[in-house]
Chains A and B, each alone.
Chain A
Amino acid sequence: MSTRILASTTRRILRQLRHDRRTIALMLVVPIVLLTLLFFMFEEQDRTFDRVALIMLGIFPFILMFLITSIAMLRERTTGTLERLFTTPVGKLDLLFGYGIAFGLAAAVQATVAAALAYWLLGLDTAGSLGLVILIAVANAVLGVALGLLCSAFARTEFQAVQFMPVVAIPQILLCGLFVPRGEMAGWLAGVSNAMPLSYSVEALQEVGVSAEPTGLMWRDLAIVAGVVVVALALGATTLRRRTP
Chain B
Amino acid sequence: MDTAVEVRELVIRRGGREVLHGISAQIQRGVITGLLGPSGSGKTTMMRAIVGVQVVRSGRVTVLGRPAGSPALRRTIGYLTQSPSVYADLTVRENVRYFASLYGIASDDADQTIRDVGLADQARQLVGTLSGGQHSRASLACALVSRPELLVLDEPTVGQDPVLRDELWKRFRQLADDGATLLVSSHVMDEANRCDRLLLIREGEIIADDTPAAVKAAAGTDDLDQAFLTLVRNRTEEGS
Contact = CB atoms under 8 A, between A and B. Distances in A.
Interface of A: 4-5, 8-9, 11-12, 15-16, 19-20, 79-81, 83-90, 242-245
Nearest to A242: B53
B102 A243 contact: no
A243 B101 contact: no
Contacts, number: 77
A4 B104 contact: yes
B96 to A, nearest CB: 11
B90 A80 contact: no
30 contacts: A4-B101, A5-B102, A8-B102, A12-B98, A15-B94, A16-B89, A19-B89, A19-B90, A79-B85, A79-B87, A80-B83, A80-B84, A80-B85, A81-B86, A83-B81, A85-B102, A86-B53, A87-B51, A87-B74, A88-B103, A88-B146, A89-B75, A89-B103, A242-B69, A243-B52, A243-B56, A244-B54, A244-B55, A245-B14, A245-B15
Given A243-B55, A243-B56, 8 more contacts: A19-B91, A81-B87, A87-B53, A87-B77, A89-B74, A89-B75, A89-B102, A243-B54
B126 interface: yes
Interface of B: 13-15, 51-56, 69, 71, 74-75, 77-79, 81, 83-91, 94, 98-99, 101-104, 126, 142, 146
A18 B139 CA distance: 21
A5 B74 CA distance: 13
Nearest to B78: A87
Given A81-B87, A88-B74, A243 B98 contact: no
